[in-house]
Amino acid sequence: MRKNRGVRTYVTIWQVLAGRAARRLHREHRFDLCVMSFNDRMGVQFWQSRMVPIQARIPGIVVINNRGRRRSYRRWSWSVSTVIACVVLRLVQPVVRFVRNVLDGGMIAGLTLLALLGAALKAAGLHPLGRAGERRGEQPLRLFIFIPSFGLGGAQTVLIDFLRQIDRRKCTVTVCTLVQRDKFFESAARQAGFAPVYLDCAPGYPPYWPIIWALARRLARERPDAAIGWLPWATAFTVLAASLAGVPRVLQSLHSESPPRRSLTLPVWQRPLEMITARMADRVIACSDASRTDYIAWGWIPPRKIVTVRNGIDPERIQRPSEAELRAVRASLQAEGRPLVGIVGRLSFEKDHRTFLDAMRLVHEAVPSVAAVVIGTGHEQSRLKKESERLGLARVVTFLGARADVGALMASLDVLVLSSRSEGLPIVLLEGQALGVPVVTTDAGGARETVRDGETGFVVPCGDSGQLASRIVQLLGDERLRRSLGEKARAYVLNGFHADRMAAEILRLCDA
């Protein structure tokens, strides 16, 4: 809309290009206001984006940063701010980052020392905030769970199934999390009757130490009987905060293998902190024997302290759709009459979708009519789409992103695949088998513990796209085998991986 029509006009930064396009905007439109957002505090890495309102001569600029803070500028002040942010701050940013990380590590070290003192006072019954012996008789257990994100992930799925099993007459639960953009499972937690509470600290990290301090304050107010840290680094922070707050019983719940197996770069303090806090915790819960063995070696955890409680699923949540619904799903995927293969999971390094794509290239050569879907999002999505095109799979593989109807999508598959390098105990394999879908998985972490090789599915070596493709082709070519494996898989999972068993074991450890 034109200004000369008497109407004020607005443009967001994502609607324009830098440089020549910005100058053309000035000639053609004469905008009054530019609204832009940055995924950091100062927009240090966004020189070209910052130049757009300057080159387009837009008189007013409004900026929202990654902490949700909004600020308004005139064009001259915005020009000064751009020079300061993208020249001065960018030059000193490495030094600032180094100093910030050193200070963060120092604060975490100081809180760790205080937590060790708190743990010693708790053991002696002298902690000023301790509640030892306060709970009596039939009073319900007060449980506090800290999970840093309710985004899409297997650990979040396990938590939701755990919450659905809680008898509120015997246990009350507070679920605490951080402010994050991805809130995929928040609505599911609310439906289960456990609305998450948000930790009172600024979103984004590092620094990490404010999370520990805010968590300790929250625990001191809540005064639970037990606290569980759910997911890596949250496990360590929960132990520190609970020790500061005098929580009687503290547990760590691990849902993966150790960080090196996932090729994660860690802050220098994380591994020593994991080692210390594992010894401070009353119990460490591993989701699989593979995860337990790995963390014993990486975190030097005493074997007597870490126990395996395998993930479970809620059968009420896993209901196979009708045949009519499955046909509708396949129609929406344009896969009617075609063999359909799928993979579900975060698009990240440890999930190794590259091996899946390599396998699908071989499957496509053997079964030209095959179709495949990739369900999930992640930082490797763009690279994987390009790789799919390079392999000639653009018309074979469809990237669906994050979907709320994952169950229906999985049930419509002929074969469910997992190609990971590292896993805790993959919940997606349990869900797929519970839906009666035969699976082919790599031998990653606890994946083998969910599948009976040759009986409920197939297990192949990690990174071996040839064997992965061979097993997929075998299943696609034998409907009777698919049906047999699917039936046995459903019975195996529903009998051995029930969420009520998992919940009972965790609550027993909390109340010991």
| pLDDT mean over 209-227 | 95
pLDDT of residue 413 exceeding 60, the answer is yes
- pLDDT at position 66 is 64
> How many helical (H) and strand (E) elements, i.e. helices and strands, does the chain have?
18, 17
Q: 285 near 508, Cβ under 8 Å?
A: no
Report pLDDT digits (tens) over 158-200. 999 999 999 988 999 999 999 887 788 888 888 888 989 999 8
Q: Centre a 10 Å sphere on the Cβ of residue 1 and count the other Cβ atoms it contains.
A: 11
Report pLDDT digits (tens) over 117-127. 999 998 888 88
Percent of residues, the chain, with pLDDT higher than 90: 63
DSSP single-letter state for residue 147: -
Please tell me the distance from the alpha carbon of residue 14 to that of residue 11, in angstroms, as a whole number. 8
User: What domains, with CATH codes, occur in the chain?
Assistant: 3-89 (no CATH), 129-312+501-510 (3.40.50.2000), 323-496 (3.40.50.2000)
- pLDDT at position 179 is 85
- pLDDT at position 16 is 46
- pLDDT at position 92 is 77
Following DSSP, what letter does each residue of 86-146 receive, concatenated?
A: IIIIHHHHHHHHHHHHHHHHHHHHHHHHHHHHHHHHHHTT--TT--TT---TTPPEEEEEE
Beta bridge partners of residue 344, listed in sequence order: 375
The count of C-alpha atoms lying within 13 angstroms of the C-alpha of 100, restricted to the half-sphere facing its C-beta, is 11
For residue 424, give every residue at least 6 positions away whose Cβ sits within 8 Å of its Cβ, in sequence order, or none.
154, 155, 254, 255, 256, 257, 286, 287, 288, 290, 291, 311, 445, 446
pLDDT of residue 27 exceeding 70, the answer is no
pLDDT of residue 3 exceeding 50, the answer is no
- pLDDT at position 183 is 82
Does residue 71 sit in helix, strand or coil? strand
Please tell me the distance from the alpha carbon of residue 1 to that of residue 31, in angstroms, as a whole number. 9
| pLDDT mean over 458-487 | 96
Does residue 175 sit in helix, strand or coil? strand
Which is nearest to 354 in space by CA: 399, 430, 410, 419?
419
Q: 455 near 485, Cβ under 8 Å?
A: yes
Q: SS3 string of 251-312?
A: EEEECCCCHHHHCCCCCCCHHHHHHHHHHHCCEEEECCHHHHHHHHHHHCCCCCCEEECCCC
Q: 39 near 47, Cβ under 8 Å?
A: no
The separation between the first and the last C-alpha atoms of the chain, rounded to the nearest angstrom, is 68
Please tell me the distance from the alpha carbon of residue 166 to that of residue 492, in angstroms, as a whole number. 24
Q: 422 near 399, Cβ under 8 Å?
A: no
**What is the β-pairing status of strands 283-286 and 60-64?**
unpaired
- pLDDT at position 25 is 53
- pLDDT at position 14 is 41
Beta bridge partners of residue 343, listed in sequence order: 374, 417
Better pLDDT: 317 or 136: 317
Report pLDDT digits (tens) over 60-76. 888 887 666 788 888 88
Q: List Cβ<8 Å contacts ≥24 apart for 109-117.
A: 109/269, 111/209, 111/212, 111/213, 111/240, 111/244, 112/240, 112/273, 112/276, 114/244, 115/239, 115/240, 115/241, 115/243, 115/244, 115/280, 116/243, 116/276, 116/280
Better pLDDT: 31 or 221: 221
Report pLDDT digits (tens) over 196-216. 999 988 767 788 999 999 999
**Averaged pLDDT of the chain:** 88
Distances (CA, A) of 403 to 189, 321, 409: 17, 16, 9
- pLDDT at position 107 is 95
Which is nearest to 111 in space by CA: 222, 227, 235, 236?
236
Distances (CA, A) of 58 to 11, 21, 79, 142, 430: 10, 13, 11, 56, 55
Report pLDDT digits (tens) over 346-363. 999 999 999 999 999 999
What is the largest distance, in Å, between two alpha-carbon atoms of the chain? 78
Q: Tell me the pLDDT band of 17, cut-offs 50, 70 and 90.
A: very low
The dihedrals phi and psi of 294, each to the nearest 5 degrees, come to: -65, -45
| pLDDT mean over 453-476 | 96
Sign, CA torsion 195/180/236/289:
positive
Cis peptide before 224 (omega within 30 of 0): no
Residue 84 tokens read as 């300061």
Report pLDDT digits (tens) over 316-344. 888 899 999 999 999 999 888 899 999 99
